[in-house]
Amino acid sequence: MANLEIVQIPVLNDNYVYLMHNHDDKVTAVIDPAVSKPVLEVLKEKGWTLTHILNTHHHGDHVGGNLDLKDATDCLIVGAAVDAKRIPGIDVEVGDGDTFLFGSAEATIYFTPGHTTGHICYHFANEKILFAGDTLFAMGCGRLFEGTPKQMWQSLNKLRNLPGDTVVYCAHEYTEANGKFALSIEPENNDLQHRMTEVRKKRAMNQPTVPFTIEDERVSNPFLRPESLPLQENIGMTGKEKHEIFAKVRQLKDNF
Ligand code: ZN
Ligand code: FE
């Protein structure tokens, strides 16, 4: 297992940019650099040299710092092959199931379309770390800007089947609003109630609620819980297909 250190950098309104340093090999990646300046500041503070940018998708709040950082550091930019035209400065094009070496640490790429048609996630299986971009949020998921509900359901289903102790780093602090919605459609869920109590405490102290684990999501994220009978009943979807239940939950959240 590689010795990885992750620094969470809050930027813009509610984005998280992550710097990840591999102490064994002295390589450093930034995941979804919305902006460049705070990233360069942390690199300087830490004495790390940026070697990689890992992009999950093409949105400006995920690739906005790409070209500045490449100019400043000559780092390699990794992104989805199918979205190469929309990832500024892309050098390494990856697809579903590909592996990518970050020094001695190996990432597996999952193709997770739905939020955008070219979204990917980075899974460091040995280190139990997932960079989920805008696919999976704490108690939520990304909006369907480009993909279909069925695609997004399949993407989320891949992620929910990862080991429960996988630590998930997503790109936004949307947790409290997501939890309010979750409670509105599954109020009898004890795990959800307890999680929201913790989340409200953290947010009141301006602390991040990210990262979280896959197990946290299995028990409290309504987008991953189409099998929940109370949830099915509460939204009038008893006995429907999982992707149909997911689509209904997404639609209700969009109008919440
Ligand atoms: Zn996005
Ligand atoms: Fe985003």
Q: Give the three-class secondary structure for 29.
A: strand
First to last CA, the chain: 42
Give the model confidence (pLDDT) of 216-234 as tens digits. 999 999 999 999 999 999 9
Give the model confidence (pLDDT) of 158-188 as tens digits. 999 999 999 999 999 999 999 999 999 999 9
pLDDT at 132: 99
Give the model confidence (pLDDT) of 143-164 as tens digits. 999 999 999 999 999 999 999 9
Ligand nearest 12 Cα, by number? 2
Residue 22 main-chain phi, psi, to 5 deg? -100, 105
The pTM score is 0.98
Ligand nearest 114 Cα, by number? 1
% the chain with pLDDT above 70: 100
Q: How many angstroms is it from 220 CA to the middle of ligand 1?
A: 22
Q: How many angstroms is it from 115 CA to the middle of ligand 1?
A: 7
Q: Give the three-class secondary structure for 76.
A: strand
Band of pLDDT at residue 195, cut at 50, 70 and 90: very high
Q: How many angstroms is it from 14 CA to the middle of ligand 2?
A: 9
% the chain with pLDDT above 90: 100
pLDDT at 92: 98
Give the model confidence (pLDDT) of 35-74 as tens digits. 999 999 999 999 999 999 999 999 999 999 999 999 999 9
Please indicate, yes or no, if residue 23 is contained in any of the structural domains.
Answer: yes
Please indicate, yes or no, if residue 140 is contained in any of the structural domains.
Answer: yes
Band of pLDDT at residue 248, cut at 50, 70 and 90: very high
Please indicate, yes or no, if residue 237 is contained in any of the structural domains.
Answer: no
Across the chain, mean pLDDT equals 98
139 burial (CB, 10 Å; 0-12 / 13-18 / 19+) is: buried
Give the environment of ion ligand 1: residues with CB less than 5 A: 59, 134
Give the model confidence (pLDDT) of 94-123 as tens digits. 999 999 999 999 999 999 999 999 999 999
Ligand nearest 17 Cα, by number? 2
Please indicate, yes or no, if residue 72 is contained in any of the structural domains.
Answer: yes
Q: Cite the active site residues.
A: 57, 59, 61-62, 115, 134, 172
Q: How many angstroms is it from 17 CA to the middle of ligand 2?
A: 10
With contact defined as beta carbons under 8 Å apart, do 69 and 37 qualify?
Answer: no
Q: How many angstroms is it from 206 CA to the middle of ligand 2?
A: 20
The helix or strand, by DSSP H or E, that contains position 137, with its residue range, turns out to be strand 136-137
Domain that holds residue 65: 4-175+210-217
Q: How many angstroms is it from 232 CA to the middle of ligand 1?
A: 28
Please indicate, yes or no, if residue 197 is contained in any of the structural domains.
Answer: no
The domain total for the chain is 1
pLDDT at 230: 98
Band of pLDDT at residue 202, cut at 50, 70 and 90: very high
Please indicate, yes or no, if residue 246 is contained in any of the structural domains.
Answer: no
Please indicate, yes or no, if residue 8 is contained in any of the structural domains.
Answer: yes
Please indicate, yes or no, if residue 118 is contained in any of the structural domains.
Answer: yes
pLDDT at 9: 98
Length of the chain counted residue by residue: 256
Give the model confidence (pLDDT) of 134-146 as tens digits. 999 999 999 999 9
Q: How many CB atoms lie within 10 A of CB 213?
A: 18
CATH number assigned to the domain comprising residue 157: 3.60.15.10
